[in-house]
Amino acid sequence: MMNKISVSIVGGSGYAGGDLIRLLLFHPNVELKQVTSERFLGKALYKVHPNLRKQTDLKFCAIDELESCDVIFLCLPHGKAMGSIEKFNLLADKIIDLSADFRLNNPAEFKKWYGEDHKFPEKLNEFVYGIPELHREEMKTAKYISSAGCNATTTILGLYPLYKEGLVEPDRTVVEVKVGSSEGGNRSTESSHHPVKDGSVRSYQPTQHRHTAEIIQELSFGKEIKIHFSATALDIVRGILATSHVFLNQELEEKDIWKLYRKYYANEYFIRIVKEKEGNYRYPEPKIVAGTNFCDIGFKKDEESNRLVVISSIDNLMKGAAGQALQAFNIMNGLEEKTGLEFPGLHPY
Amino acid sequence: MMNKISVSIVGGSGYAGGDLIRLLLFHPNVELKQVTSERFLGKALYKVHPNLRKQTDLKFCAIDELESCDVIFLCLPHGKAMGSIEKFNLLADKIIDLSADFRLNNPAEFKKWYGEDHKFPEKLNEFVYGIPELHREEMKTAKYISSAGCNATTTILGLYPLYKEGLVEPDRTVVEVKVGSSEGGNRSTESSHHPVKDGSVRSYQPTQHRHTAEIIQELSFGKEIKIHFSATALDIVRGILATSHVFLNQELEEKDIWKLYRKYYANEYFIRIVKEKEGNYRYPEPKIVAGTNFCDIGFKKDEESNRLVVISSIDNLMKGAAGQALQAFNIMNGLEEKTGLEFPGLHPY
Amino acid sequence: MMNKISVSIVGGSGYAGGDLIRLLLFHPNVELKQVTSERFLGKALYKVHPNLRKQTDLKFCAIDELESCDVIFLCLPHGKAMGSIEKFNLLADKIIDLSADFRLNNPAEFKKWYGEDHKFPEKLNEFVYGIPELHREEMKTAKYISSAGCNATTTILGLYPLYKEGLVEPDRTVVEVKVGSSEGGNRSTESSHHPVKDGSVRSYQPTQHRHTAEIIQELSFGKEIKIHFSATALDIVRGILATSHVFLNQELEEKDIWKLYRKYYANEYFIRIVKEKEGNYRYPEPKIVAGTNFCDIGFKKDEESNRLVVISSIDNLMKGAAGQALQAFNIMNGLEEKTGLEFPGLHPY
Amino acid sequence: MMNKISVSIVGGSGYAGGDLIRLLLFHPNVELKQVTSERFLGKALYKVHPNLRKQTDLKFCAIDELESCDVIFLCLPHGKAMGSIEKFNLLADKIIDLSADFRLNNPAEFKKWYGEDHKFPEKLNEFVYGIPELHREEMKTAKYISSAGCNATTTILGLYPLYKEGLVEPDRTVVEVKVGSSEGGNRSTESSHHPVKDGSVRSYQPTQHRHTAEIIQELSFGKEIKIHFSATALDIVRGILATSHVFLNQELEEKDIWKLYRKYYANEYFIRIVKEKEGNYRYPEPKIVAGTNFCDIGFKKDEESNRLVVISSIDNLMKGAAGQALQAFNIMNGLEEKTGLEFPGLHPY
């Protein structure tokens, strides 16, 4: 039997970190060595992640206590990884960063969207953008992977075949994502207060969402494109539904669209085309992918115009964070891609 | 003191009917005479509308038992009013119809969107489209008013100033409405079953929503326009949030947009511009207008393009149905427009 | 026309204060003069209570700016009223306190349950306990009224006829209240964070809830009684459902219970007996009383034992706080008891 | 490697059936052969259980098409298994029934609670009552197991150590269970309609819940006991929280209770004692066990009386149905008890 891959997590008290711990504890090829948290130093993991009660004896340790291991996952707040990446690289050859720090290839774009100079711009090109379905080959030999933003992942996977084939009017796409409250992290805020948030439908980022930069980077293929992006926050905990309105630059029928999506995704385990004529779940829904690493994608062609509505959905903490990172980890380490990621979700949820 | 206006409701067991009964019972100038329901014939109103317990002794009667009165509100299922309007007209001079039957001026459009020939096309032009903010003057002398669709009302009120002034690229507007479950009526269905619906975000009408026809009718002003409309159903009971992405055909700054909305709506009691720099409620939210007749409208100009995101919100049963109908009733009868409609909503909700 | 009663609110930024402002703004006999908040000093009321947008031009003022008026409502945090009551009494003859400070007649009980000495024990007897259905006569001449706790109100109103008539085994009653998140106030906490609270059913006070003291005070009638009380927090915003299991000390059938409740409550506008054989709402539900001043009460006799299950429900911010206080205000000022409190609630909600 | 155990499910379109299919598909020692549904005959399983998309090619078959196998799970509506058990026994030696038909040992009790004569009373004693923690030894050689009721399981596991040791006043225990909507099954009803159910707190069975019979059977140990049981339905999908108020017949401190629960449950993988001094999850919560086979149990001793409040929680479809059945299956077949049941649940959920 092969040796287990030793893994540590830096910043494991947040929601993405918690899901990653859970996945790694059950991964047959992984030994989870250490999990850091300055805030919960010395506490048992289950005190923060109550679903892990009786699953592990690990306690949160300090960053300074980190020992060397095979792979480090970074789950730090945005802006914290770029300044400390070399330090972690002394401990582990391979690093998977779940923050936004190394997603954009172009430091000028980083400055524009994140409002500060990148601290380590020459490192940007060493990171592979973390969506396996787009960058699998690079991941196989990568030492650094930067997990994609959750809203970006949902949008990109929904639109990739269309943009890749050049079928879209480049400046007209409108994307409306609806997101759950776990996107905001595990710190309570005024706007996450239950009486405020319960039943709310809140236009929290009608323009200028930072994930727009990633979407453009991954879908432009050398052309100038525009993504008119808005985000609305809902009273759900996990999940994203992206409704993308694209305008086709040629006559395509629904069967053509089917063929296109099958061409790109038929062999992708974690992508499912969902388009039913009847039943409660005719299009993708966050409920159905909650807890899973699936990205469900559906579409509807407007009979009256050249608009195609693409509906895509993921669990923001799984395919949008911990699950995507683990999928990349599997590829990077030559393991079967779905190892540890087979939970099919609950129904009803 | 003036005589009370006698009013009856045809089809009062549904949600819009229930809200209308509630409003009319507390209206100082109205005597609610009769409420029909074939399904609940002879039952006390509160058996169907439990909030009316101890508020009225009325029982549901049959349509055949209807007596003459001053105004009849029709809350029948779509398709039922157009064939029986003359019968009801024998009982009351004034009729306010809450169904879709008389909303479209053009019978060809009716056929296209509703899939059947209109049964009384020559009557269509006698009905005033029921949004008071657009058709107040006509309502003052109207005998027939057709209440607007709830999703249409939200969209139209949000976009009216822009289209009226000709500021919009005519074929690019994308509208995403998010709607509550009360839109689906009070009959349980497979898709309204709690384990299915709870926490769901369901793309139920990505294209071809019938309300598109009303929106085009009211916003076209003689031009050819396109409204790319989608509707997503959420796990809330009351409320609609419309996110409308319009592309301006000239350079406008946010202060210009402010001025425009003030020009049209500053004197409209039921329209509020909501655009705050801080706090939990920076843009309109269905929670805040639930139970009220308000339409809250906000907007954000994309700094990177000519896109303007307009966010508008109403309670679908109030400003989108019963409240709108009562507002029209007040105008039609020379009463102060907000009579009986002053409830400001609950916070928290 | 009679002069309006001038009223000010001390501590108006919380949820109970917000509901009280809303009610007073629409009360025909009241002029709302001032509302204080140190935290939101100088801000328009609607910035904190978004449903009040366009309803009033009032701004929050400081306590030091308070002018004299007819009645002051105190909505301060628990413990703050007892030390400052004399100061407020210089400004207004009549005071209605919504905190817990003056609810208990016995300072020893106060110390036991609130863990500190009462700062003004000699004043306790001047306060009338604020449930109008039990203390109406005293209220008519009262200068000081202390609004009852929300969970206590729900429980007391449900059980009052049984205890008053001495029909209950004195040491066996078990009360389980289920409560909404607005009970916890408008400050966000770790446990009110949406991802934590959404869908939660949390046993937050299985024993030793402070409201037990009030319940015993109001139901003991000179006897020694025990109330075994537990509180569970739910994922709803407004509302309380109390399930009280009492054991009858004599044979009573359901029709006897009916008679008993009618004897006490038939003439109480704000109390409704809810006990239906069919339909969705056979027993009281928080949804149906949300936003109203009603207390709905139902019951079921166990055929196998002497247990009677009493189900009672109120809106904690209305009949459990602002509404109850306004009802007491009306009585105290010789007004019709339901003035300003007639909103029947929304259905569906 | 051992041969796989061949398994079929009769009545696999419901929620418990769906969870069972999901568990069996991932069980390393099981081959799921057939799943019947008359209603969805011929349809792919994922059409009914959308989380199974891409997980299996199985289609629902008819009962008449069933082939012989090692174990049959019966997920039929209550009342359907007792008349057909012999037929299924011809196909499989071992049967696990998830309905209520074979839970009660005493046919008289069956008649009393289910209102009809048992169709096969002589078979009752061949069935082992399905809670493994109480009947593990019998299960090892059993041919027939009857899964326990979900509310009964929650209550029994919470109270078992106390009753087993004879520490409880026999006629005073009050149990309040709060339950999710999936308990009602997958057929929509008037009361499961979203606008009705959303935010509801419904006292649906204040007395005479049928699970009382099972609880008494399992906790009486030859004595006469009473369980005063009530059930309240909440706006959650999965989960039960039982709050049990028991009155101790001797002086016990919390540390004694701790010791007692450790004695019975320290070696039970699926039972966790949850009793924290701080944090959001101080007592058991349905959210934390959702999707898992855990039963979390906590308690609080009332300092003022001999009342002990026991709080227990399970997922009604897992530990209350499919998970419990699979746990019993593992024992019955000599497999490790937690095989296929290790999913630790999601956080946040």
Q: Out of B178, B228, B301, name the one closest to residue A302 (CB).
A: B228
- C2: pLDDT strictly greater than 90: no
Confidence band for A40, pLDDT divided at 50, 70 and 90: very high
Cα separations (Å) of D144 from B273, D18, D106?
A: 67, 21, 16
Q: Across chain C, what does the average pLDDT equal?
A: 97
Q: Across chain B, what does the average pLDDT equal?
A: 97
Torsions phi, psi for D67 (to 5 deg): -105, 170
Confidence band for D2, pLDDT divided at 50, 70 and 90: low
pLDDT at A192: 96
Give the domains, in start order, of chain C with CATH numbers. Answer: 5-148+319-332 (3.40.50.720), 151-316 (3.30.360.10)
Cα separations (Å) of D290 from A341, D297, D321?
A: 18, 14, 13
Alpha-carbon distance D168 to nearest alpha carbon in chain B (angstroms): 37
Confidence band for A1, pLDDT divided at 50, 70 and 90: low
Q: What is the mean pLDDT of residues D83-112?
A: 97
Interchain CB distance below 8 Å, D15 and A348 = yes
Sign of CA dihedral C117, C122, C125, C131: negative
- B199: pLDDT strictly greater than 80: yes
Alpha-carbon distance A214 to nearest alpha carbon in chain C (angstroms): 26
Kindly compute the dihedral angle of the four CA atoms of residues C85, C88, C93, C97, in this order, to the nearest 10 degrees: -50
Confidence band for C10, pLDDT divided at 50, 70 and 90: very high
- A159: pLDDT strictly greater than 60: yes
Per CB-CB distance under 8 Å, the chain C contacts of A236 are 198
Q: Out of C15, C238, C348, name the one closest to residue B237 (CB).
A: C348
Whether D190 and chain B come into contact, CB under 8 Å, resolves to: yes
Chain A / chain B CB contacts < 8 angstroms: 141
Q: Which residue of D has its CA nearest to A267?
A: D54
Whether B6 and chain D come into contact, CB under 8 Å, resolves to: no
Interchain CB distance below 8 Å, D349 and A237 = yes
Instruction: Report how far residue D17's alpha carbon sits from residue D6's, in angstroms, rounded to the nearest whole number.
Output: 16
Kindly compute the dihedral angle of the four CA atoms of residues A140, A145, A149, A152, in this order, to the nearest 10 degrees: -40
Tokens of C229: 């009380």
Catalytic residue among B61, B75, B150, B295: B150
Interchain CB distance below 8 Å, D235 and C236 = yes
- A2: pLDDT strictly greater than 70: no
D297: DSSP letter: E
Confidence band for B21, pLDDT divided at 50, 70 and 90: very high
Q: Out of A15, A188, A235, name the one closest to residue C189 (CB).
A: A188
DSSP β-bridge partners for residue A177: A231, A242
pLDDT at B2: 67
Q: Which residue of C has its CA nearest to D275?
A: C203
For C229-247, the DSSP string reads: EEEEEES-SS-EEEEEEEE
Torsions phi, psi for B47 (to 5 deg): -65, -30
In this complex, the chains that touch B, judged by 3 or more CB pairs closer than 8 A, are: A, C, D
| Percent of chain C residues topping a pLDDT of 90 | 99
Per CB-CB distance under 8 Å, the chain B contacts of A203 are 241, 243, 282-284, 298, 309, 311
Which residue type does A40 have?
A: F
Tokens of A323: 């699950």
Interchain CB distance below 8 Å, D348 and A182 = yes
- Whether B158 and B174 have beta carbons less than 8 Å apart is answered as no
Contacts of B122 (CB under 8 A, 6+ apart): none
Alpha-carbon distance D106 to nearest alpha carbon in chain A (angstroms): 34
- D261: pLDDT strictly greater than 80: yes
Phi-psi region at C302: left, alpha or beta (left = phi > 0; alpha = psi -120 to 50):
beta
* Angle in degrees, CA B27, D200, D271, rounded to 5: 170
Instruction: Report how far residue B240's alpha carbon sits from residue D9's, in angstroms, rounded to the nearest whole number.
Output: 43
Catalytic residue among D69, D75, D150, D295: D150
Whether C200 and chain A come into contact, CB under 8 Å, resolves to: no
- D61: pLDDT strictly greater than 60: yes
Element (H, E) at B288: helix B286-289
For D302-332, the DSSP string reads: -TTSSEEEEEEEE-TTIIIIIHHHHHHHHHH
Q: Which residue of D has its CA nearest to A53?
A: D272
Whether A195 and chain B come into contact, CB under 8 Å, resolves to: yes
- Whether A99 and A81 have beta carbons less than 8 Å apart is answered as yes
pLDDT at C1: 53
Tokens of B73: 């509100």
Query: Which chain B residues in 16-75 lie under 8 Å from chain A, judged by CB atoms?
Result: none
Alpha-carbon distance D288 to nearest alpha carbon in chain A (angstroms): 6
Interchain CB distance below 8 Å, A181 and C192 = no
- D83: pLDDT strictly greater than 70: yes
What ipTM is given for this predicted complex?
0.96
Tokens of A140: 């196989």
Say if residue D106 is exposed, middle or buried (CB neighbours under 10 Å; 0-12, 13-18, 19+).
middle
pLDDT tens digits, one per residue of A267-292: 999 999 999 999 999 999 999 999 99
Confidence band for C331, pLDDT divided at 50, 70 and 90: very high
pLDDT tens digits, one per residue of C102-117: 999 999 999 999 999 9
Alpha-carbon distance C292 to nearest alpha carbon in chain A (angstroms): 18
Catalytic residue among A61, A69, A75, A150: A150
Torsions phi, psi for B84 (to 5 deg): -125, 10
Tokens of B118: 């209109």
- Whether A216 and A278 have beta carbons less than 8 Å apart is answered as no
pLDDT tens digits, one per residue of A73-130: 999 999 999 999 999 999 999 999 999 999 999 999 999 999 999 999 999 999 999 9
Q: Which residue of D has its CA nearest to B237?
A: D195
Tokens of C158: 């449900």
Q: Across chain D, what does the average pLDDT equal?
A: 97
Alpha-carbon distance A117 to nearest alpha carbon in chain C (angstroms): 33
Instruction: Report how far residue B328's alpha carbon sits from residue B333's, in angstroms, rounded to the nearest whole number.
Output: 9
Torsions phi, psi for D102 (to 5 deg): -120, 25
Q: What is the mean pLDDT of residues D135-149?
A: 98
Cα separations (Å) of D114 from C35, D68, D107, D131, D209?
A: 60, 31, 10, 21, 10
- B1: pLDDT strictly greater than 60: no
Per CB-CB distance under 8 Å, the chain B contacts of C348 are 15, 182, 186, 237-238
Contacts of A159 (CB under 8 A, 6+ apart): A168, A173, A215, A219, A244, A246, A310
- A190: pLDDT strictly greater than 90: yes
DSSP β-bridge partners for residue D7: D32, D71
By DSSP bridging, strand B227-234 and strand B201-205 are: antiparallel
pLDDT tens digits, one per residue of A299-311: 999 999 999 999 9
Query: Which chain D residues in 202-261 lie under 8 Å from chain A, judged by CB atoms?
Result: 237-238
- A49: pLDDT strictly greater than 90: yes
Instruction: Report how far residue D266's alpha carbon sits from residue D262's, in angstroms, rounded to the nearest whole number.
Output: 5
Interchain CB distance below 8 Å, B348 and C238 = yes
Alpha-carbon distance B338 to nearest alpha carbon in chain C (angstroms): 13
Interchain CB distance below 8 Å, A344 and D238 = no
D75 annotated active-site: no
- D1: pLDDT strictly greater than 90: no
Tokens of B259: 């001025």
B319: DSSP letter: I
Instruction: Report how far residue C211's alpha carbon sits from residue A92's, in angstroms, rounded to the nearest whole number.
Output: 57
Look at residue A301 and give its three-state secondary structure: strand
Whether D273 and chain C come into contact, CB under 8 Å, resolves to: no
Whether B195 and chain D come into contact, CB under 8 Å, resolves to: yes
